[in-house]
């Protein structure tokens, strides 16, 4: 007599899968920032004779590959850069100066921009880089 053994039918145990999915949902709920947009009211702001525009918290200096230096979107010389930074520091002493140097720009030109900023009292400097992807 041939004895047959019953084969177990394979199956997926769904209970651990449900636990994992629950923890993933919980993780995303907890770590996601809930942003609510406030509804803006259509109002007309009053004007004032002594009003002034907010001074930006940072100043961006760009050094191109060919050595040209830009403050914002306009080309400047070393003397003009110093004068502009001095003027910006007078109105905002905690100004952050960001230097964006092209990777093919000469190191000497970037150091010159740093020296120009430090010569007029700028001590909060940052070098802009691109994140690796």
Ordered by where they begin, the domains of the chain are 58-127 (3.30.420.270)
Are 91 and 53 in contact, with CB atoms under 8 Å apart? no
pLDDT of residue 35: 54
The pTM of this model reads: 0.57
Distances (CA, A) of 93 to 52, 114, 124, 125: 17, 17, 9, 13
Give the residue with greater pLDDT, 66 vs 130: 66
Torsions phi, psi of 19, nearest 5? -60, -45
- Which among 102, 88, 81 is positioned nearest to 58, based on CA atoms? 88
Question: Residue 99, SS3?
Answer: strand
Find tokens 């905690």 and name the residue.
94
Give the residue with greater pLDDT, 77 vs 49: 77
pLDDT, averaged across the chain: 81
Residue 11, pLDDT above cutoff 90? no
């Amino acid at each position: 007599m041939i004895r047959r053994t019953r084969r177990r039918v394979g199956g997926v145990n769904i209970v651990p899968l449900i636990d994992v999915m629950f923890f993933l949902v919980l993780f995303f709920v907890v770590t996601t920032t809930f942003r609510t947009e406030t509804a803006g009211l259509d109002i007309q702001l009053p004007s004032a004779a002594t009003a002034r525009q907010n001074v930006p918290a940072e100043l961006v200096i760009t050094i191109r590959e060919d050595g040209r230096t830009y403050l914002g979107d306009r080309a400047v010389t070393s003397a003009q850069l110093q004068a502009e930074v001095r003027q910006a520091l007078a109105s905002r002493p905690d100004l952050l100066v960001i230097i964006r140097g092209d990777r093919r720009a000469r190191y000497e030109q970037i150091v010159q921009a740093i020296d120009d900023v430090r010569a007029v009292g700028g001590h909060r400097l940052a070098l802009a880089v691109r994140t690796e992807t």
